[in-house]
Amino acid sequence: MKKILIIGATCSKNRGSAAMLISTVKTLRSFLADPYFTILSPYHELDLKNCSPYNIKVMGYSGGILRSISRLSRLLIWNIFGLIGLSLNRLINEELLKEYNNSDIIIDLSGDTFSDDYGSIASISSCFNIILCKLMKKPIVIYAQSIGPFKTKLTESLSRFCLNRVDLLIVRDEITKNYLHEIKIANTIHYTADSAFLLETPHPKRIREILVKEKIDIKNRPLIGISASQHIYDLEQNNTKNDVKTPYVTLMTNIVDFLTDKLDAQIVFIPHVMNNDRPVDDRYIGKKIYEVVKNKDKITLINTEYSPDELKGIIGQCDLFIGARMHANIAATSMCVPTLAIAYSHKTYGIMGMLEMENYVLDFGTMTVEEIISKVNDIWINKEVIRSKLELNIEILKKKALHNGELVKELLNNIE
């Protein structure tokens, strides 16, 4: 039995992270004999409930730079004394460090947070995780991530040092691959696909139950799904340069009014991040848009917290999708729903590019109502061609995502 510790992922609050976790665990189970999974979670109680159906052990932990520095300092001393034959195991007598020590391999499933886009602390924390594994002589895998950019000399140098020492480096988009080459990453870079492309949907009966509960009439066409992002709204509010052309809420309101007026569409807002005890909650921004649209009778706001596979099932019923959350877009495109993606980082461009859908990506900071309407019209006119192209490309990406499991199996075989 292989003990696999997964870090950087959760099965709660962020449905994109949950989609990656669930699909990664299933993929690895298909390649490894009797693997045993543990995740480190900042949401211990929630994840105990949400991980239970997937037979994943949950260990709660508290992060923070000071705690990380303390752990690394103790591990460094532990290693130094080990070199001279002295055992100081009491230095690693912490539950978290014991979990690392008892694991055969560590899978980092952080997605896109190994980047200064979320602040330098995010990049430094990712590096600390790698250093911790190296000090404990444990193999670590960067599993299908979008990495960078690094905006300071410190984070770029530290990240280069660490990424060159991971045991398996897998990226999920070509932009990341090219960027890592630019910053002189000498490690082998495996270019595959996001694990969430493999996420399966529930039985159709379950999706029908949800549609009835949410009063979504799939006979009332077109049905257009929207993933509005509280993160984009917050980025806009924190933009000190004030160089955003049109406020996000105003943009989305105008688009919803266009869709309901011109296409007579039924709109469903599908939140992908739901944090009852934190300010980042996509239901909040959906409600702000709803408050100012004209045709409220044509709008459905989903407020119930559904699992990522259930959300994917709902999205799969749509005729068109407009997504500001990348894993909502992955759910849509993997169900062959024509999709317009709104980007706030390179990961969206990279993944839509893999699908040959790069023409259907707009930058949240520069997009205008006219641009969105033009793209929506383009998608609507060409929706059958787009759907056919997605059917072909999704199969390719699913094979790439499965290759992640093969790579992990090869690594484990080589270190036995």
pLDDT per residue rounded down to tens, the chain (416 residues): 899 999 999 999 999 999 999 999 999 999 999 999 999 998 899 999 999 999 999 998 877 778 888 888 888 887 777 777 666 667 677 788 889 989 999 999 999 999 998 889 999 999 999 999 999 899 999 999 999 999 999 999 999 999 999 999 999 999 999 999 999 999 999 999 999 999 999 999 999 999 999 999 999 999 999 999 998 888 887 764 455 567 889 999 999 999 999 999 999 999 999 986 666 899 999 999 999 999 999 999 999 999 999 999 999 999 999 999 999 999 999 999 999 999 988 889 999 999 999 999 999 888 999 999 999 999 999 999 999 999 999 999 999 999 999 999 999 999 86
Q: What is the per-residue pLDDT for 202?
A: 96
Q: What is the per-residue pLDDT for 70?
A: 81
**Cα–Cα separations (whole angstroms), residue 65 to 120, 122, 130:** 11, 10, 14
Measured in degrees and rounded to the nearest 5, phi and psi for residue 343 equal -105, 145
Tokens of 381: 């006119």
What are the residue boundaries of the structural domains of the chain, listed by start? 3-198+398-415, 204-393
Measured in degrees and rounded to the nearest 5, phi and psi for residue 70 equal -60, -45
Q: What is the per-residue pLDDT for 95?
A: 86
What are the start-end ranges of the E strands in 192-262?
A: 223-227
Q: What is the per-residue pLDDT for 85?
A: 67
Q: How far apart are CA 403 and CA 298, in angstroms?
A: 42
Q: What is the per-residue pLDDT for 280?
A: 81
Measured in degrees and rounded to the nearest 5, phi and psi for residue 360 equal -110, 45
Domain spanning 204-393: CATH 3.40.1410.10: no
Domain 3-198+398-415, second-level architecture:
3-Layer(aba) Sandwich (3.40)
Q: Smallest Cα–Cα separation from 251: which of 370, 379, 333, 120?
A: 370
Residue 57 burial (C-beta neighbours within 10 Å; 0-12, 13-18, 19+): middle
Q: What is the per-residue pLDDT for 83?
A: 75
Q: How far apart are CA 56 and CA 49, in angstroms?
A: 10
**Given the structure tokens 């930058």, which residue do they identify?**
363
Q: Smallest Cα–Cα separation from 53: which of 310, 354, 230, 250?
A: 310
Q: What is the per-residue pLDDT for 415?
A: 83
Same fold? 3-198+398-415, 204-393: yes
Q: What is the per-residue pLDDT for 243?
A: 56
What residues are paired with 191 via a beta bridge? 171
